[in-house]
Amino acid sequence: MDEAEILNKLGSKIRSIRMGKNMTQNQLAINCDFEKSSMSKIESGKVNLSYITLHRISVGLDIHIRELLPD
């Protein structure tokens, strides 16, 4: 699996969890203290995330960081 595939899977996982919680991208972005455009880029796999960013997203989604990792 190449880097683009990994980032796409991660973004899809974040989107899936967010939608499962009936949350908009804007709501999650606010919870994470991000711009909505940044959240859009993350979910579309255009951003290589740092551990800190993953942590902020997991807190924003109220989940453990492990749940963000693709299967």
| Rounded percentage of the chain residues whose pLDDT exceeds 90 | 90
pTM listed for this prediction = 0.92
Rounded-to-10 torsion of CA 55, 59, 63, 69: -20
pLDDT tens figures, 23-57: 999 999 999 999 989 999 999 999 999 999 999 99
Query: 3-class secondary structure for the chain?
Result: CCHHHHHHHHHHHHHHHHHHCCCCHHHHHHHHCCCHHHHHHHHCCCCCCCHHHHHHHHHHHCCCHHHHCCC
pLDDT(70) > 70: no
Domains in the chain (CATH in brackets) are: 3-63 (1.10.260.40)
